[in-house]
Amino acid sequence: MRRSLLVAAGAVASLLIAPTAQAADCDSDVVLIRGSSASQKLIEAVAKVAATQNVKIVYSSSGSSCLGGVYEAVTPTTTTTGRAGSASTIYDVNAPTATCTFSTPRVADIGVSDVYAPACEGVAGLSTTTLPADVTDTLGPVQAFTLAVNDDPSFPVAISSEAAFNTFGIVGRNGDASFGVTPWTTVADIFGRKLDSGTWQTWARSLGLPPQKPVTDAQQKSGAKDVLAALDTSNRASAIGIIALNDIVPTNGVAPKVRPLAFRAKGQDFAYYPSSTSTASDMINVRDGHYAVWANLHFFARKTNGSHSPKVAKVLELLESKEAVSVVAKTRAVPTCAMQVQRTTDAGDFSAYKAEKPCGCFFEQEASGVAPASCTTCTDDSACGANGQCVFGFCEAK
């Protein structure tokens, strides 16, 4: 989740998804979003749908959850997002990229984070993380975080929470390789993230590490691309990095030369991948709670006079639209409607969950290309029996 803003003459670069091929005016009635770069694929998906309903989205990636999403929610400022004269990158589904500019400053309408606001206290200059009364927290799709190694068949395939604790805790803080777990005993090959990263905050809490003490400064990478580059440069069995799973999803058929490790959480007898296998995309072990390291995206939205603007409300509504679920499924993230467990704190305990409109069958079809054999197609509720309902073309339990 690196800071991926295109900078020209000190300007903040953003992503705008507009319904026309012409360069849009950032000062028009847009919804301005800023936050973690891990949410960008979802925002693109939502924006494509929003564009058909006359809602334009400008997205500015801060590179991290605390620096962007939570900071924007708690301490809104026009100096980081929407500055006067700042040039913004436009993404349009029907045209090449172009630019637009803000002639007057404005704060973000929505801030996006991988973690709950309290996880960022003391980070990125935040002395408090209490959300203002006019800011709401809407839970978005779940993304899994993984420990990745180079894709060499001779390298390990799994790691325990105890081994990960020693690798990223003791080795990173003390610089003493004797505390490491083979083969991860070379401090220079342990690649983490910076304090303001939601990826790091989630892993630290999952392992029981003090979030304020990550790996040594030299090993703190600013974003996923930096971690991937470091792993590629090292290309040794001793190399391991913290990353979001959707950062290693193939793009245009090309995948990074790394793979996720199966993870055995504390108290578990076996290690699990986020999906049923290392290369599958069903995300079943995240959805049912076997894979422990995941977090919802948080959409912190500001209200005016007690309510969201109609266009902000529309964006929040579209987060789990059929179209958005379809695209999210292909990024190895999980919409909440496909989850069977939930948590209310970062790395907290699970509890059972069932969405009002479950979408497990549709999710698996879109993620894997085929729905499970147990799924029944439908066009309306009548095909699903007294205890069923038709959701996105499949029968689901009420």
Write out the chain's pLDDT in tens, 398 residues: 333 222 222 233 344 443 344 445 676 678 888 877 667 777 777 777 788 888 888 877 666 667 667 767 777 654 444 444 455 544 444 544 556 667 777 778 888 888 888 877 777 667 777 888 888 999 999 999 999 999 999 999 999 999 998 888 765 555 555 567 889 988 888 888 877 788 888 898 899 887 665 566 557 776 778 888 889 888 789 999 998 898 888 776 777 889 999 999 999 999 999 999 998 999 999 999 999 999 999 999 988 889 999 999 999 999 889 988 998 899 899 999 999 999 999 999 999 999 999 999 999 999 999 999 999 999 999 999 999 999 999 999 99
Task: Measure the CA–CA gap between 330 and 45, rounded to whole angstroms.
Answer: 11
Same domain, 147 and 277: yes
Could you tell me if residue 42 is inside a domain? yes
Domain range for 359: 351-397
Looking at the fold, whether 154 and 278 belong to one and the same domain comes out as yes
CB atoms within 10 A of CB 374: 8
Number of H helices, E strands in the chain: 10, 19
What is the total count of domains within the chain?
3
Task: Say if residue 272 is in the same domain as residue 148.
Answer: yes
- Same domain membership, residue 271 and residue 164: yes
Residues 289 and 309 in one domain: no
pTM for the predicted model, two decimal places: 0.84
Please list the alpha-helical segments (H only) found in the chain: 40-51, 71-74, 161-165, 171-174, 198-207, 224-234, 284-287, 310-318, 322-329, 360-368
Is 218 a member of any domain? Answer: yes
Within a domain: residue 330?
no
Cα-based angle 324, 325, 331 (whole degrees, multiple of 5): 95
Within-domain flag for 338: no
**CATH code, domain with 289:** 3.40.190.10
Same domain? For 102 and 79 the reply is yes
Q: Do 277 and 172 reside in the same domain of the chain?
A: yes
